[in-house]
Amino acid sequence: MTQQQETLIEFPCRFPIKVMGVRTDEFSQVVLDIALKHAPDVTAADLDMRVSKNGNYLSVTVTINAVSKLQLDNLYIELTSHPLVKVAL
């Protein structure tokens, strides 16, 4: 199976990634910094943030220009290994 056949996603494409964690001052910057390592063209305008109902958690959706499955896999691995990140979808 070729890399092209390993996923149903057609690259390149705009790809949103929702990242959730405890609401801290630096959480959105952490998400942006990690995203920039894997998708250098990401800007703050590519972030959408929502605070949870009780204000304890922050959801950051970052939309990147995805070019490969490997890029997405590496981005998810780095996001989910960060101590501030609870989940990345």
What pLDDT score was predicted for residue 2? 53
The whole-model pTM stands at 0.91
Tokens of 18: 């929702």
Q: How many helices (H) and strands (E) does the chain have?
A: 2, 4
Residue whose C-alpha is closest to residue 46's, from 7, 33, 56, 86: 33
pLDDT tens figures, 39-87: 999 999 999 999 999 999 999 999 999 999 999 999 999 999 999 999 9
Q: Are 31 and 18 in contact (CB under 8 A)?
A: no
pLDDT: which is higher, 78 or 4: 78
Please answer whether residues 74 and 8 qualify as being in contact, where contact means their C-beta atoms are separated by less than 8 angstroms: no
Residue 38, pLDDT > 90, answer yes
Q: What pLDDT, on a 0 to 100 scale, did the predictor assign at position 29?
A: 96
